[in-house]
Structures are given as C-alpha cells and as structure tokens.
A = this chain, B = another copy of it.
C-alpha cells in the first residue's frame, strides 16, 4: 500500500482549478469572449524587462559553470546580501545575509519554515479567510491548522485570537495583503496582534512565532501601508516570493527572512537549513537567484490591476454588491447576496461569470473575484454582473 494521505492529496480537486477547467470547456462551446473567468490568481502582466535583461547579461557575462552551479544551501552570498540591504533600506530593520535563506518560492518558504518550527501535534493559527494550501503545508510538518475568526473587515477577530492562543500554539500565519480577501491589515491591528503574542509568549514561557506570508506585499492600492512585521515583533519569519511582484510564479524563487532580533536566531536559521535539506530543496534555482539580486527594486507594471480594480469596484458598488475593502493583492472578496455562496456561484455561472465560492477559504457567504485578467474582460463582464444584481433585486 502506498501513502493514502498523498494519494488523497494528489486526487483532491481544487475547486479553483475545477472552475478554471469548466471555463475552458465553456469558452470552447460559446466563444472565449463570452465567458468571464475570474477564478485563477495568476499574474496577468509580464515580468519587467529588467528580468530578461538580467538573464541575458548573466548568460553573456558569467561563467556557465558558476551561473548554473550549486549555490550554498541558503543561497548565493551576493543575492542574500542584496536582499538584506534592500530590507535595511526599505524597512529600517538591521537585516544581514545570515537572516536570509533563499527558497523555491512561497510554498517552499512555508513548508521549510513550518517543518523547522512546528513539532508534531502543535497548532498553527490561521486567520480566516486563508489560502487553502496552508492546511497541506501545516500537516506536512505534523501540525494542526486552527482557524481564527474574521471581523467584518476580514481582519483577525482579536477576542477569538486570544481564545485560541493556548500553550499548544507554535505559530500564527498572517497573510496581508490577503488572498482571498484583498484586505491589508492596518498598523493598529498589527500592533494589537503582536502585543497579544508578546504577552502570551511571556505567559507561556516560550516564543510564539509569527509567520508573515507576503507574496502580495508590493500589490497595494489606495496608498495604504503594509506594516513590515519584524518592526513590530522579534520572533517573525517573513516568507516572501517574487511570483507576484516580478510575475515569475513558475520560476519558483523567493526567500525566508528571519527577523534580525529573533530569539535564538542562529538555531532557527540552522533548523530552516535542516528542513530545506530534509524536504529535498538543495538550493533555490541559481539563475533566478542572480535575477533576484539584480531586481530587488523592480516590479511588474501593475497599472492593469489598478485599472481593473477601479472599474470593477465602482461598477459592483453601483449595482448594489458589497465588497470587502480591497486594499491589496488582485482579489475582490464580495458578499454573496444569499447566505449560500455556492448557490450564488451557480447563479453567477448562468451569466457566464466564474467566481470562486469562499467555503474553501474557511468562511461561507462570499465569492472571490480575481481581477488579474484583461481590462477588456472586465468591461465585457459588467452587463452580466448588472443582470446578476438585478436577479437579486439589488438594483
């Protein structure tokens, strides 16, 4: 018998993927321009030209034995130095290369961090709504996902957070800007969360780690600030990826950054190295480590996301829909006009609108609208959204 757990995981359909595949079949039936697929959260804008330039110049200037060779397990010193310098400059945190461990993207950052920190049976708190794969990653480390209820802004409910903070909790994952809600946690809520974590760490006599999963850090709109959590809490592990900022999701490049002021940082860093080794990562892809070193200050042109967000938000409000304030990422989290989000999803589908019901994100009653699509698609979809609203008597 092979692993039934892995078999189940491999067979488990993702509803997002299923909707996307339905969309492709439907496009073949009625024409691509008549189906409005808002299911996938993939960057729709290209990598900045500096990425291709960095690759071309690496190919022409670097000895291929070095360029494509193993780096040390935590990554090339040049890349780690560039990232630490960028962190110092942007956030005023005294980061150094020995805080930085290069990874094969955010998923790797998370599985490595969780395996380094979490002992079998320990809990990891995850505010609702959350990226469904967190459960898989936490369970890979032998841990248990404990959800924290949201407030009306989709920020963590602080009373529920306090109630869930028991001595069995090893860590909490915060994901802001948030997938799926687009919420960006305010400085005030971060201050309250970290104060609570500090108090409970002292009470329990053991650190509670704050894992900041922030692949959407650069995707913020309406001028809000994304607090850098090591400024607020010493025992923070930042899990970063260039998937969204540089539109490189397939290349698998990101990093783990330990707060320079973390307790026993050297031990945690060694455990991160051990976990990366144990899971089979060896080193992050070397060419894209070189790209990351050159592109720390770059990002893709996000103007399409900005335009899409504005268009969609103003139209949906006009039609009477209710959205969570979408300060970041490329998602709108819209309240379902009926309690059952799945029923709403089915009705939207009849208008060829493909939205993701929120149940898999840990909360009922919403749909996620990914607006990382063409602006044309947004414009063409608006009459369908209007009809859907009319069906519910919203306008």
Residues of A within 8 A of B (CB): 1-3, 5-12, 42-47, 51-52, 55-56, 59, 63-65, 67-71, 104-105, 107-108, 110-112, 115-119, 133, 136-137, 139-140, 206, 247-252, 264, 267-275, 277-289
Smallest CB–CB gap between A42 and chain B, Å? 6
Give the chain B neighbours of A289 by CB distance below 8 A. 250
Smallest CB–CB gap between A209 and chain B, Å? 9
Interface of A is mostly: helix
Smallest CB–CB gap between A47 and chain B, Å? 5
Contact B267 A7 (CB under 8 A): yes
Contact B117 A2 (CB under 8 A): yes
Out of B12, B108, B118, name the residue touching A281 (CB < 8 Å): B108
Contact B140 A278 (CB under 8 A): yes
Contacts A3-B117, A117-B3, A275-B3; A250 near B283 (Cβ below 8 A): yes
Smallest CB–CB gap between A237 and chain B, Å? 11
Out of B1, B71, B273, B274, name the residue touching A250 (CB < 8 Å): B71
Give the chain B neighbours of A112 by CB distance below 8 A. 280
Which residue in chain B gives the minimum CB-CB distance to A142?
B3
CA distance A68 to B313 in the complex (A): 29
Which residue in chain B gives the minimum CB-CB distance to A280?
B111
Contact A44 B68 (CB under 8 A): no
CA distance A216 to B215 in the complex (A): 37
Contact B47 A252 (CB under 8 A): no
Smallest CB–CB gap between A114 and chain B, Å? 9
Give the chain B neighbours of A55 by CB distance below 8 A. 55, 59
Contact A285 B282 (CB under 8 A): no
Contact A68 B251 (CB under 8 A): yes
Smallest CB–CB gap between A205 and chain B, Å? 11
